[in-house]
Structure 1
Amino acid sequence: MVNTVRYARVFGGAVAILVGVSGCAGSAEPCAGVGVVTQVGVFFAQDGYDGLAGASVRLCAHGRCVKDRIPAEDVTSVNLPLPDGIGPDLGTVRFRVTRKGSTKPFIDASTDKRLSHQSDGCGGGAYNGALAFTKEGGLTATVPKSVSDAWIKQVRTAASRRA
């Protein structure tokens, strides 16, 4: 159930962003300003790690943190909402993973991240950004194509199972 909600939220948010950007910008109709969220997220590619289902994941930036459990999946997305009005200079993002039953993180990585402005196509928008963590590359301020492709495939596969 948690995975279903997570996939629906992520997929729904992506659709809302696409509709907001494409629908409002080209329309003569009044704009609803739908779609963009101020946040930072990490795509965690679990390839090369065993037994992470149920592990704790913590993402911190701009004096805020979010904590969650890792589901049994190939790529996990962890998102941290940020305050509206934040600018592009986010600063340091810290990503930690602690195995179930342990108190010490076995992954503890940080990097600086600059956010990008995403327009809602209606005169507004928000700053957001994505990072990735892979066993080979550690925490990177950009998402490699292989990780984003794996994430998209995972979301589509989950959606087709429910259809």
Structure 2
Amino acid sequence: MTRPRVLVGVSTLLMTVSACGSSQACGGVGVVAGVGVYVVHEGYGDLAGASVELCAKGKCVKGRLPDADITIVNLPLPDDVGPDIGTVRLRITRRGADKPLVDASAEKKLTHQSDGCGGGAYNGAFAFTKEEGLTANVPKSVSVAWYRQVMERATAEPTSSASS
């Protein structure tokens, strides 16, 4: 078999066994099951370096909060998770502290996000603010502030270490 025929054969095989089994790409490649929390730092002073823990369905993710106005903490869940995940718990502990500054819980049903090919995953977003605590709805003001923060960082001047 000649090299071009092998490449065409491999391409055809990949299209056949890929997401939809057609030549059209699936729109939701990368849809993952999980929950995310927009953590608004305002009202807590400096939270940079504080430990953060997000738990749901017996799974937890731990990390440190960066120096930012808003942080998104994501917890991937198994692909077979359904809409009912029970309680989502968020804990934030300042660096060097023994007790959490924040220990909040909330519940919500997750939403199914299609992958455009007959599959998909359940996921959902929460928000945490000093005024409202952990809520199952992300206020528009929080998502707008997050977007603004991302755009400011994307258009910021590179640091001297990044430009060398």
TM-score, normalised by the number of residues in structure 2: 0.79
Distance (whole Å) between structure 1 residues aligned to residue 77 and residue 98 of structure 2? 27
Distance (whole Å) between structure 1 residues aligned to residue 153 and residue 98 of structure 2? 32
RMSD (Å) for aligned C-alpha atoms: 1.8
Distance (whole Å) between structure 2 residues aligned to residue 81 and residue 72 of structure 1? 23
More helix by share: 1
Task: In structure 1, give the amino acid aligned to 2:112.
Answer: H
The reply on whether 1:60 has 2:55 as its aligned counterpart is yes
Shift, 1:157, TM fit: 0.9
Out of 134, 138, 141, the residue aligned to residue 133 of structure 2 is 138
Distance (whole Å) between structure 2 residues aligned to residue 100 and residue 152 of structure 1? 27
State the SS of the aligned residue for 1:131.
strand
Structure 2 unmatched runs, 5+: 1-18, 159-164
State the SS of the aligned residue for 1:111.
strand
Out of 143, 153, 158, the residue aligned to residue 158 of structure 1 is 153
Task: Tell me how many residue pairs correspond in the alignment.
Answer: 138
State the SS of the aligned residue for 2:23.
coil
Alignment match, 2:100: 105
Q: Percent identity over the alignment?
A: 63
Shift, 1:38, TM fit: 0.6
The reply on whether 1:121 has 2:90 as its aligned counterpart is no
Shift, 1:35, TM fit: 2.7
Task: In structure 2, give the amino acid aligned to 1:100.
Answer: R
Distance (whole Å) between structure 1 residues aligned to residue 38 and residue 30 of structure 2? 20
Distance (whole Å) between structure 1 residues aligned to residue 157 and residue 116 of structure 2? 32
The reply on whether 1:36 has 2:50 as its aligned counterpart is no
Structure 1 unmatched runs, 5+: 1-23
Shift, 1:162, TM fit: 5.9
Out of 76, 81, 98, the residue aligned to residue 81 of structure 1 is 76
Distance (whole Å) between structure 2 residues aligned to residue 64 and residue 35 of structure 1? 20
The reply on whether 1:149 has 2:144 as its aligned counterpart is yes
Larger Rg: 2
Alignment match, 2:13: none
Structure 1 runs (4+) greater than 4 angstroms displaced? none
Shift, 1:78, TM fit: 0.2
Deviations 1:112-158 (A, max 9, x none): 12100001112111100000000000000110001111111111111
TM-score, normalised by the number of residues in structure 1: 0.80
Alignment match, 2:161: none
